[in-house]
């Protein structure tokens, strides 16, 4: 299931060496609970707040291990808290490194499986989105180039998504390898392509604009017929599957910690993936070129469970 969310990245990571107040600075209203920790301030439904706070802490440790950076402290809003007074409190406070609204209950309800599996899926998706925020702030903090549309940060879209996939809960995501055996996206295209969700977003925007036009003409929006780009859904699913597979495979082979952070820093400085692999690939346990990387990855896909 694809969950599209809007997230806001603000400021640079704050100094987390200072003492963290144990009293939550946000107002608890109705069934909302607020939990303050070293990594986050969570305002969410009482049934979710503790698990969300714990998952942020775990995700921060995962990010440190893969990227060598410690995320700053930020605000996390779950469920109805996204529309609460607490959101405005956080905006006025202005001392956070990030703010993420996450429809945790909605994501859980739209997933499948047992209650525990749905809960784990929602928390895993939250960690995925947090990693997008943290990765952009740590390695691509510059504002987007005018006229250039990017899905996440200014990093290549495959790398931005790999950074997010690394923080997903492996217990809630089935191995992508079997689904990739019918074919993968050639790396020459995969490493340079725009995120397929951008095409989906453009199509949805077109659909909404056409629906609004029909309504002004007194027609029913249900009469609207638009044809999405051929294969859009398949391309999106294949892209995410390949991202998750590559993230799993590279993380398993990586020697040492913060390898992904070293790669991101080099690519931000202008190196290509192939240049970095030729210089550092063997030392970190990865193939020494993109050509060998693709061959080894495809071979893994054929045999992995």
- Domain edges within the chain: 8-143, 177-303
Q: Which of 94-108, 260-274, 291-305 has the highest mean pLDDT?
A: 260-274
pLDDT at 102: 92
CA distance 185 to 193: 10
pLDDT band at 19 (very low <50, low <70, confident <90, very high): very low
Buried b (16+ CB within 10 A) or exposed e, 67-96: bbbbbbbbbbbbbbbbebebbebbeeeeeb
pLDDT at 94: 59
pLDDT at 129: 92
CA distance 221 to 156: 37
State pTM to two decimals: 0.81
Select from 281, 301, 18, 4 the least CA-distant residue to 177: 301
The answer, yes or no, to whether residue 290 has pLDDT greater than 60, is yes
pLDDT at 139: 96
Which SS3 state, helix, strand or coil, does residue 46 take? helix
Q: What is the average pLDDT across 140-144?
A: 79
pLDDT at 194: 86
Q: Which of 79-93, 137-151, 155-169, 198-212 has the highest mean pLDDT?
A: 155-169
**More confident of the two residues 238 and 227:** 238
Q: Which of 38-52, 95-109, 266-280 has the highest mean pLDDT?
A: 266-280
pLDDT at 208: 56
Select from 77, 86, 84, 96 the least CA-distant residue to 12: 96
CA distance 263 to 226: 41
CA distance 62 to 258: 10
Average pLDDT, the chain: 80
HSE of 216 in the Cβ direction (CA atoms, 13 Å)? Answer: 6
The answer to whether residues 98 and 9 touch, using CB atoms and an 8 Å cutoff, is yes
Which SS3 state, helix, strand or coil, does residue 251 take? helix
pLDDT at 142: 82
CA distance 44 to 53: 10
Query: pLDDT tens-digit profile of 243-282?
Result: 999 999 999 999 989 999 999 999 999 999 999 999 999 9
Q: What is the average pLDDT across 130-156?
A: 81
Q: In angstroms, what is the C-alpha Rg of the chain? A: 21
HSE of 145 in the Cβ direction (CA atoms, 13 Å)? Answer: 4
Query: pLDDT tens-digit profile of 147-192?
Result: 555 667 889 999 999 999 999 987 555 677 777 888 899 999 999 9
């Amino acid at each position: 299931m694809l969950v599209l969310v809007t997230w806001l990245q603000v400021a640079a990571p704050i100094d987390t060496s200072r003492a963290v107040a144990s009293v939550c600075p946000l107002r608890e209203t109705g069934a909302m609970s607020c939990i303050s920790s070293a990594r986050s301030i969570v305002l969410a439904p009482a049934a979710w707040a503790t698990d969300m706070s714990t998952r942020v802490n775990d995700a921060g440790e995962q990010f440190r291990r893969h990227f060598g950076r410690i995320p700053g402290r930020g605000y996390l809003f779950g469920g109805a808290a996204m529309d609460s007074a607490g959101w405005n409190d956080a905006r006025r406070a202005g001392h956070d490194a990030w703010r993420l609204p996450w429809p945790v209950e909605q994501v859980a309800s739209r997933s499948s499986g047992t209650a525990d599996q749905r809960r784990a899926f929602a928390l895993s998706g939250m960690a995925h989105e947090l990693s997008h925020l943290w990765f952009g702030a740590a390695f691509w903090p510059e504002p987007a180039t005018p006229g250039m549309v990017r899905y996440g940060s200014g990093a290549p879209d495959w790398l931005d998504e790999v950074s997010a996939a690394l923080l997903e809960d492996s217990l809630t995501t089935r191995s992508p390898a079997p689904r990739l055996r019918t074919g993968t996206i050639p790396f020459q295209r995969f490493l340079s392509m725009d995120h397929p969700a951008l095409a989906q977003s453009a199509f949805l925007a077109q659909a909404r604009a056409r629906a609004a036009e029909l309504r002004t003409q007194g027609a029913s929006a249900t009469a609207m017929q638009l044809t999405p780009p051929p294969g859009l859904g398949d391309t999106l699913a294949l892209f995410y599957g390949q991202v998750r597979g590559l993230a799993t495979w590279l993380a398993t082979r990586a020697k040492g910690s913060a390898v992904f952070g070293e790669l991101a820093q080099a690519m931000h400085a202008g190196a290509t993936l192939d240049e970095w692999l030729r210089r550092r690939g063997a030392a970190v346990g990865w193939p020494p070129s993109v050509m060998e990387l693709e061959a080894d990855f495809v071979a893994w896909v054929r045999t992995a469970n």
